[in-house]
Structure 1
Amino acid sequence: MTFKTTLLAAAATAVLATAAFADGHANPTVGGAEMLADQPIAVNASNAPNLTTLVAAVTQAQLVDVLAGEGPFTVFAPVNDAFAALPEATVASLMMDENRAALQGILTYHVVPGTITSADLMEAIETNEYANFTTVAGGTITADLVNGDIVIFDETGRFSTVGTADVMQSNGVVHVIDRVLMPAG
């Protein structure tokens, strides 16, 4: 290999590495789909095959423009199996036009203003033994560490484990979770 070829190969590698990394780390895939740090939450979520129920719910709730907006937001995104674990009648009812406000309340309960990474969650947990966050819906979620995993408790006492953390987006960060969070009441 000549010096020029080596230099070109190094430059190409640097360009590819820059495109594949956000904040110095590889952005995780979600459901096998590449998540692009330069795309908004709404765009990336629509590409993840394990978030199709969430995307359908966000669309029905008319929140796509919000999650495509400037942000920043931290979204705790339940996978399809999380919705499947709910009673089928509950999901069907929430997807009705007349229940859009309730659906909006549940979905915005999964969103916290600002960009909160897993390092931020861990720091807050270590400082206070747990960390409370106010959601866009106005409710409270609590982050804690259980058996080495970050878990998010809702106001009903149920918890969800963060499976994939720090999926960086152009307008915030997504943490993929395994249960749907429910506000009190």
Structure 2
Amino acid sequence: MKTSPVRALALAALLGVSALAGVAYAENPMVGGAAMSADKDIIDNAVNSADHTTLVAAVQAAGLVETLKGAGPFTVLAPVNAAFEALPAGTVESLLKPENRAQLTTILTCHVIPAKALAADVVKLATDAGGTAEIDTVGGCKLQARAEGGTVTFTDETGGTATVTIADVLQSNGVIHVIDKVLLPKS
């Protein structure tokens, strides 16, 4: 079943709770040793996370800062530094070069869903679709979202699967889900 960003946004508005934790957060979770403020945008929070310095550098190199500071709503699947380190040697350095900006932008925008999709929304989408929901990203990638045993995962077009390690980090312009792998578009 194909899931449109509009449906994801509608479900987000209806559900608005975290399925992974079983209850809504009274406060945002800490990320990378820093408090995350629901009153700040995605960029203003991400720059404070010690676990997302590579992601922030990549967003800056791709020229996406102003976009992710925009009104949104956005759902950002935010790979931690270790996820970037797990890529083949030299990959990050190569992607950060100006001549590779288009490729970097495609990879990064494959981590952005053009709607506010909380964990509960993803769980419901996957459940309603029989276990796996296809989600379109800003970058044109199609991710397969699954929810099983209290864990939400996203599988990219190359078959790589990222697990949500911290869900529902609320932002003024959307939500961040911290993930443990970089999602890649098909070649």
Please give the TM-score of this superposition, normalised by the length of structure 2: 0.85
Where does residue 178 of structure 1 map in the other structure?
180
- Which 4+ runs in 1 deviate beyond 2 A? 145-148
Question: What is residue 161 of structure 1 aligned with on the other side?
Answer: 163
The aligned runs of 1:61-140 (5 Å cut-off) are 61-128=62-129, 129-140=131-142
**Larger mean Cα displacement after TM superposition, 110-119 or 86-95:** 86-95
Tell me how far apart the structure 2 counterparts of residues 100 and 135 of structure 1 sit (CA, whole Å). 18
CA 1:119–1:147 in structure 2 vs 1: closer, same or farther (change >3 Å)?
A: closer
Confirm or deny that 1:152 pairs with 2:151: no
Q: CA deviation at 1:24?
A: 5.9
Q: Which residue of 2 aligns with 1:15?
A: none
Q: Which residue in the other structure is 1:43 paired with? A: 44
Superposed CA offset, 1:55-94 (max 9, x none): 0000011100111111000000000000000012111110
Find the counterpart in structure 2 of residue 26 from structure 1: 27
Whole-Å Cα distance in 2 between the matches of residues 25 and 54 of structure 1? 27
Structure richer in helix, relative to its length = 1
Higher relative contact order (CA 8 A, sep 6+): 2
Query: 3-state DSSP class of the match of 1:88?
Result: coil
Letter of the structure 2 residue corresponding to residue 148 of structure 1: G
Is contact 2:122-2:147 (8 Å) kept?
Answer: no
Counting aligned pairs with the same residue, the percent is: 51
Question: Unaligned regions of 5+ residues in structure 1, if any?
Answer: 1-22
Q: Distance in 2 between matches of 1:152 and 1:42?
A: 22
2:43 counterpart letter in structure 1: A
Matches of 1:146 and 1:89 in 2, distance apart? 34
> Structure 2 unaligned runs (5+)?
1-23
By how many angstroms is 1:162 displaced? 0.1
Q: Report the residue type matching 1:79 in the other structure.
A: V
Cα offset for 1:146? 4.0
- 1:130 deviation in Å? 1.1
After TM superposition, the score normalised by the length of structure 1 is: 0.85
Distance in 2 of aligned mates of 1:78 and 1:146: 20
Q: Per-residue CA shift, 1:104-135, capped at 9, x if unaligned?
A: 00000000001000000111111111111100
Q: How far apart, in 2, do the equivalents of 1:24 and 1:76 lie?
A: 18
The alignment partner of 2:140 has SS state of coil
Distance 1:165 1:148 in 2: 11
